[in-house]
Amino acid sequence: MKNKETVISVKNLKTFFYSDGRCNPAVNGVSFDVKSGKTLCVVGESGCGKSVTASSIMQLLPNNARIEEGEIVYKTGDSRGDIHIEKLDRNGKEMRSLRGKDIAMIFQDPMTALNPVYTVGWQIEEMIRNHENVTKEEARKRTLKLLADMGIPDHEKRIDQYPHEFSGGMRQRAMIAMAMSCNPKVLIADEPTTALDVTIQAQIFELMEELKEKHNTAILMITHDMGVVSEMADEVAVMYMGNIIESGTAKEVLGSPKHPYTEALLRSIPILGRGKGQDLNPIRGVTPDPFDRPSGCQFEPRCDYATKECSNRMPDEVNLGKTHMVRCIKYQEVSKNE
Amino acid sequence: MLKYTIKKILSMIPMILIITFIIYGLLELTPGDPISYLMDPESLARLSDAQIEEMREAYGLNGPFVVRYFNWLFRLLQGDFGYSISSGVPVIDIIKTGLPATLELAVASLIISTILGSILGVVSAIYKGTIGDNVLTVFGMIGVSIPQFFFGIVAILVFALNLEWLPVGGRTDPSVTGFFDRLEYIVLPSLVMGLSMTAGVMRYARSSMLDTMNKEYIKTARSKGLAEWRVNLLHGFRVSLTPVVVLIGFRLPTLVAGSVVIETVFQWPGIGNAFSTAVRAQNYNLVMMLALIFVVMTLFASTLVDIVTAAIDPRVKLEN
């Protein structure tokens, strides 16, 4: 039995964006743990701060963004002890030694995430040689093995090809090969399959699942797709407007949602096989302007359960059982609907 | 690659024919008579119509221009470039003395503007929004808007007349003096020409670099934990090079043909100067020969750009 301990612990993380003198609290007090050998899915609609959360962990934020508060602790499990990522210099030596080596990332669009003027092999070798003191030949040998492990056929030839000669799915496999090249403890996947078609999607998930089992890697998956969540997640965190409004195991959150937003999200998914006559239940209203947020619960203007009390302040975290957390004062009413 | 180059060169031939034919036609359309540039107006007035006709015949200026164009072409193919109508000097001699001088200046200023322009452009892109970037942008604007002749005259005034560091102008014959003795003559003209071109290259390199640095693969490079210089140069600059190369490549022929101003200001004995006088005097033989050189150079530059682009960007395939 492999250990499932916490590798990254995020506590009360606040990452704010500044533009034209205005402040957008994109991530406004988020806490979660990423555990080795488990997949945590952060799910939410565009602009809810899920990608910013991922970028914060990697310190890959744009220049107008800043981590204001909270902590990101990376538990190395070796002599380096616990590293406070939020305290490191953005492009400093320590941060760079973590990036790629300890925490690797794959991106949404494999079409644009690889540099078009270098061969795929070169880009993977660059990663290996950046973190480990190996010869060119060794790096190439390892790259070949990685490509083979990722299920890239004809890898002897593929290693010297350019990204544009790869198909979308193959490119994402190459990206994963690159991310896994230094055996990272954590793999952050920012919507890794959004740009791929469904059959390829399934293959990529299978591959990630396999890697998780084999290397005991912790996976932090960012997605907006509930289908992906149900397929991949061990744990789920639902984000809305910069807050995690519900979290727990996949079974808890998907099976018995306690937050009106989670419930509405799940209800809005069309069900395959019910035909085109089925009623879709989109969430009414639109996401608020991030610069002009509701005063209390962020979901209050769109919520069916909303009362006066909801607009006073953001509800506190309520723990239901060991793992299930919800931030809603009306959660008991939501559970009645089951 | 070789096949492509050969194909490209062969495809140049019809283009050269068409373009030179058009130039010949345009010369024909310009008002005036080359004969009138050969002697002073008074002696010209004393000539009878028959005498003028005789002269035109002697210089080969009679007959339909289509016929004359093909005559020129056939003589060209036989290696006979003709004589300058206004001076009687063989055209080939004018080219032999002028072309090296012009090329020398063109290459020197191309090197200066390419190196300086791309470095400054990349630096100002990396430090976008800082004081340094703003200063460079202002200098770029000034560089683009100040006319070359003014810049040249100021440079002469300061560095040649006041400081007396460099000669005012001219060029010494390569066969007479050594390389380092000649160097001081080319410094001022090539710097003036190079610097005024640097501004354009810089702005281009900057915007290309900014465009590249916003790409997803730059984020990938950072996520690999690479050092900033590697991200900027190996992943950013390398990709943003392609459009800059295209710009520089197409500058080459403009440089050769367009150095009239600099050549005049610095008394540089190149062909730019010769070209402008020849056009005004309707000096067919000389104009056509120089035009031919410019056309070949332009086509050559475009082929060169294709080949270099294909070499630095694997997505570009030459075969198509």
CATH number at residue B122: 1.10.3720.10
Q: Contacts of residue A116 in chain B, CB cutoff 8 Å?
A: 217, 239, 313-315
As a whole number of angstroms, the distance between CA A35 and CA A6 comes to 4
| Residue B104: band (very low, low, confident or very high) from pLDDT cuts 50, 70, 90 | confident
Q: Is residue B83 part of a domain?
A: no
Which residue in B has a C-alpha nearest to residue A176's C-alpha?
A: B220
Is the domain of B132 the same as that of B254? yes
Q: Is B219 on the interface with A (CB under 8 A)?
A: yes
pLDDT at A123: 92
Q: Is the dihedral of CA A153, A159, A160, A161 positive or negative?
A: positive
Is the domain of B128 the same as that of B262? yes
Q: Contacts of residue B312 in chain A, CB cutoff 8 Å?
A: 117
pLDDT at B153: 84
Is the domain of B48 the same as that of B159? no
Angstrom distances, CA of residue B86 to CA of A35, B27, B37, B162, B270: 89, 15, 7, 39, 18
pLDDT at B319: 65
Q: Which of B224, B313, B315 sits opposite A126 (nearest CB)?
A: B224
Say if residue A21's pLDDT is above 80. Answer: yes
Is the domain of B108 the same as that of B209? yes
Last-in-domain residue among B52, B77, B102: B77
Q: Is B314 on the interface with A (CB under 8 A)?
A: yes
Hey, are the CB atoms on A115 and B217 less than 8 Å from each other? yes
Is the domain of B292 the same as that of B154? yes
pLDDT per position as a tens digit, A149-163? 888 888 889 999 999
Give me the residues of B, 14-33, that contact A with CB < 8 A: none
Q: Is residue B200 part of a domain?
A: yes
Q: Contacts of residue B238 in chain A, CB cutoff 8 Å?
A: 117
Q: Which of A99, A109, A164 sits opposite B224 (nearest CB)?
A: A99
As a whole number of angstroms, the distance between CA A329 and CA A306 comes to 9
- The more confident residue out of B211 and B185 is B211
Q: Is the dihedral of CA A220, A221, A226, A229 positive or negative?
A: negative
Q: Is residue B228 part of a domain?
A: yes
Q: Phi-psi bin for B196: left (phi > 0), alpha (psi -120 to 50), beta? A: alpha
Number of domains chain B is built from:
2
Q: Is residue B87 part of a domain?
A: no
Q: Contacts of residue A92 in chain B, CB cutoff 8 Å?
A: none
pLDDT at B37: 67
What would the mean pLDDT of B112-120 be, rounded to a whole number? 90
pLDDT at B179: 64
Least confident range from A23-37, B106-120, B143-157: namely B143-157
As a whole number of angstroms, the distance between CA B226 and CA B228 comes to 6
Q: Is residue B117 part of a domain?
A: yes
Hey, are the CB atoms on B238 and A105 less than 8 Å from each other? no
Angstrom distances, CA of residue A5 to CA of A187, A320, B303: 15, 21, 61
**Domain limits at B42?**
2-77
ipTM of the predicted structure? 0.84
Hey, are the CB atoms on A114 and B315 less than 8 Å from each other? no
| Residue A103: band (very low, low, confident or very high) from pLDDT cuts 50, 70, 90 | very high
Say if residue B102's pLDDT is above 90. Answer: no
| Ranges of H-type helices in A107-245 | 110-113, 120-131, 136-149, 155-158, 168-180, 198-215, 226-232
Q: Contacts of residue B217 in chain A, CB cutoff 8 Å?
A: 112-116
As a whole number of angstroms, the distance between CA A319 and CA A248 comes to 10
Q: Is B291 on the interface with A (CB under 8 A)?
A: no
Hey, are the CB atoms on A113 and B220 less than 8 Å from each other? yes
| Residue A124: band (very low, low, confident or very high) from pLDDT cuts 50, 70, 90 | very high
Q: Is residue B166 part of a domain?
A: yes
Check: CB of residue A107 under 8 Å from CB of residue A192: yes
Check: CB of residue B225 under 8 Å from CB of residue A96: yes
Percent of chain A with pLDDT over 90: 20
Q: Which of A1-5, A87-91, A194-198, A217-221 has maximum average pLDDT?
A: A217-221
Distance (Å) from the C-alpha of residue B235 to the closest C-alpha of chain A? Answer: 7
For helices A120-131 and A136-149, what crossing angle results, to 10°? 120
Mutate to test the interface with B, among A117, A127, A187 (most CBs of B within 10 A): A117
Last-in-domain residue among B77, B102, B133: B77
Check: CB of residue A192 under 8 Å from CB of residue A206: no
pLDDT at A1: 42
Distance (Å) from the C-alpha of residue A157 to the closest C-alpha of chain B? Answer: 16
Q: Is B228 on the interface with A (CB under 8 A)?
A: yes
Say if residue A73's pLDDT is above 70. Answer: yes
Is the domain of B117 the same as that of B47? no
Q: Is A249 on the interface with B (CB under 8 A)?
A: no
Is the domain of B108 the same as that of B59? no
What would the mean pLDDT of B286-312 be, rounded to a whole number? 85
Is the domain of B30 the same as that of B105? no
Distance (Å) from the C-alpha of residue A178 to the closest C-alpha of chain B? Answer: 9
Q: Which single residue is written with the structure tokens 């299930």?
A: A324
Is the domain of B180 the same as that of B122? yes
Percent of chain B with pLDDT over 70: 91
Q: Is residue B20 part of a domain?
A: yes
Check: CB of residue A208 under 8 Å from CB of residue A202: no
Q: Is B216 on the interface with A (CB under 8 A)?
A: yes
pLDDT per position as a tens digit, B2-41? 787 788 888 888 888 898 888 888 887 877 776 666 666 6
Say if residue B301's pLDDT is above 50. Answer: yes
Q: Is B229 on the interface with A (CB under 8 A)?
A: no
Q: Is residue B234 part of a domain?
A: yes
Is the domain of B168 the same as that of B243? yes
Say if residue A51's pLDDT is above 60. Answer: yes
Hey, are the CB atoms on A115 and B216 less than 8 Å from each other? no
For helices B91-126 and B179-213, what crossing angle results, to 10°? 40
Least confident range from A231-235, B187-191, B243-247, B256-260: namely B256-260
Is the domain of B243 the same as that of B305? yes
3 state SS of A2 = coil
Give me the residues of A, 316-335, that contact B with CB < 8 A: none
Distance (Å) from the C-alpha of residue B317 to the closest C-alpha of chain A? Answer: 12
Q: Which residues lie closer than 8 Å to A36 by C-beta, 6 or more apart? A: A2, A3, A4, A5, A6, A7, A185, A216, A217, A218
What would the mean pLDDT of A276-303 be, rounded to a whole number? 82
- The more confident residue out of A184 and B256 is A184
Which residue in A has a C-alpha nearest to residue B128's C-alpha?
A: A63
H/E stretch holding A249 reads strand A243-249
Distance (Å) from the C-alpha of residue A316 to the closest C-alpha of chain B? Answer: 34
Q: Contacts of residue A109 in chain B, CB cutoff 8 Å?
A: 216
Q: Which of A7-11, A320-324, B67-71 has maximum average pLDDT?
A: A7-11
Is the domain of B149 the same as that of B280? yes
Mutate to test the interface with B, among A115, A128, A160 (most CBs of B within 10 A): A115
pLDDT per position as a tens digit, A191-239? 888 877 888 888 888 888 888 888 889 999 998 888 888 888 899 999 9
Distance (Å) from the C-alpha of residue B126 to the closest C-alpha of chain A? Answer: 12
Last-in-domain residue among B42, B77, B112: B77
Q: Is A107 on the interface with B (CB under 8 A)?
A: yes
Q: Is A178 on the interface with B (CB under 8 A)?
A: yes
- The more confident residue out of A327 and A77 is A327
Residue B31: CB atoms within 10 A of its CB come to 5
